[in-house]
Structure 1
Amino acid sequence: MANVLEQIRAKAKTLGKKICLTESDDPRNLKAAEKLVQTGYAKPILVGDADAIVKLAAENGINLDGVEIVDVEKTPDLQKYIDLVCELRKKKGMTPEQARTALKDTCFFSATMVMAGDAHGYVSGGGNPKGYNHNTASKTRPALQLFKTASGIKTASSCFIMQMPDTKWGYNGVFVYADCGMNINPNADQLAEIAVTTAKTFKDLVGGEPKVGMISCSTKGSAHDPIIEKVVEATAKAKALAPDLAIEGELQFDAAILPEIAAKKAPDSKIAGHCNVLVFPDLNCGNSIYKATERLAGATAIGPLAQGLRRPFMDVSRGCSADDIVDCACVAAITEWAD
């Protein structure tokens, strides 16, 4: 059986979607664009200063044949994008001059291209600390402002697909972890939405039936504290939002993924010990656990993948490789637009 990454790449290759890469002053993104063309996974668009992009590619021996380059200040579509931004942000009082300034930012420009239908999604991978130097907030803000959340969803979030070396874990070796990169300390309502959204992401991208474990330092009342009660409350709210979803909480990590531990700690649960979607109570936990799984267990971490938005956006870690950017571009390519 092909692993989940191979499945995602194969599907992306059939779609031919245009994906903007915003960090065009970082050689990793130029290399990713080259690889996307070579593999046919997607049609990359490097967004930024066209002359600087060409120069950087030459300095790094990167072939940009077949790569579309869009200059944020010289594009003939600039007025079209200014008009669109003013329309999308009219309730905020956006003026043409403010829109022109905002569009100088490659993330905002890319999000506008997507909303104009000129690209399918955008990926912000890595970053040049001496260049655009986008942090997570500045990469994500344009997506929140222009894409907005999908119908029925108030909380955008992020997740990681974790491909384990051993297929005995999760679903054929795959877990999906959330939230690992966006919401620092979600409340119970937000955590419930994150659980439901991540279950949908699992089903859409991995293809199996999600079994959601709400992770805590307690299993089924073994400890009591407000941070635990938040997870208990979130579990109940998630079940109310999605009555047909297989979800259990609160569960300690081992009780969520190990049947022999679950048999002792949560014997009445139908899914404890078999969870493949793990929802963490806050970003301290989620971000740390994904990195620990990647580094100590040798897992492949795909993400962070933004979810709950109307259009695809991926914010890739500053420590990413060109291949990480390629893989997130593939995920963006197969992520369908929402109303």
Structure 2
Amino acid sequence: MEVLTGTTIDAAGPALVRNVTQASAVMRAMAGHVVGNGQRRAELDEADRVIGWLFSLAAYAVQEEQWQLLDKATRALCIWDGAFDNWRPVPDIRGWLRTLSGRSAVVTAAVLRDQPESARHFTALARDHDVHVDIRNAVDMPENGAGGSPPVQTRIVDRQPGQPSTSLPDAVRGQTLSRLYRQADRLDWTHMRPAARAELCNRWVRDPDIGGALLPYLGSEQRVRVWIKDSAMKDFPRAQEGQGPTANYPPRYFRGIEEIAEAACGSDGEIIPDSVAIKPNRFFATKGEKGYFVVWGSPRQFRDLMWATMHTAAESTEEPVIVMTTRRGDPVDPAARTEQEAMARRYGVRLVFLSRDLHPRSGARGDAM
């Protein structure tokens, strides 16, 4: 339990998505740990840690539209939440439930109906008409504690891969992303501290040209903030890499995976088609008869990259390579680099350091409605 909950969601999430059977077994095991080791009940601090990790995994599943994982993660989350009258995580979970729509709301509502001990913690949402109707019905508890009125049948519209995850008109979404990414680039979002990012997000919510443009479609400032923070800006680093559905909106971008492949494999390395993936950024490549598994990211992502590399290396014969990327001119921590090199050598992973430049993009999308 401690090992798993100590692993970041960006590292654990993709592995669980790739192996649904393993994910189901992991979630069942975590749910079974509510009673501790069979001799003692889990402590409150342990419950906090597990509930927080499962909550993050559920949010990840929504973001990636992985509905089976969402069901398993939310079910384990509700079992832990229902077993502890611990109100510390409830406000965060309640706020998240308010943001769910479409299939994510339907899947989560089905779990809540199965877990009334957890659902009773969120009865305040039953009369909140900003909340999806299935969620409201699932937490509408009469005096006997059972689920409330019968669930309303909800029509689910499946989205195709790469399609926007909100109901925003394309023109509004495009212009808003363009404005956000221009400001994020100018203010150096990547290197901002969390407090500064939070303040900037608040300014964007209040900005008539950003939050004001989104509000008629998203319905509340809270949903506007969630869309900016957890959708648009979470995609920003990937977009600068030329990846993801918002890749055409940043005003500047890195050269792309070709420079990563060159750093990892040499100038004649070839990326295997359809092997490029994210979270973490990775691909398979060949050079002659030799194969490579390449992951890349910033120095602060090193442990997650190492975890992903070791997980894949155990199941493949390709040489594992981690490419640590920095923007030219960024400060380098010599002690951290020495530690990273030592860990890579210990586990047989080749470590490459690459300093890159951002290049202006001509004709970035979203400048006009």
Relative to the length of structure 2, the TM-score reads 0.28
| Higher helix residue share | 2
Larger Rg: 2
* Structure with larger RCO (C-alpha < 8 A, sep 6+): 1
